[in-house]
Amino acid sequence: MSALLAGLPSIPDKRYFEIGEVSRICGVRAHVLRYWEQEFPQLRPTRRRKRRYYQRPDVELVRQIRVLLHEQGYTIKGARECIERQQSAHANPAPDAAGEAAEERRRVIRDIEAALEFLK
- CATH 1.10.1660.10, domain 17-93, yes or no: yes
Report CA dihedral (70, 13, 17, 28) to the nearest 10 degrees. -20
Three-state DSSP at 49 gives coil
> What pLDDT, in 10s, does the model give residues 62-103?
999 999 999 999 999 999 999 999 888 777 666 666 677 777
Does position 2 have pLDDT exceeding 60, yes or no?
Answer: no
> What pLDDT, in 10s, does the model give residues 10-69?
889 999 999 999 999 999 999 999 999 999 999 999 999 989 999 999 999 999 999 999
pTM over 0.85: no
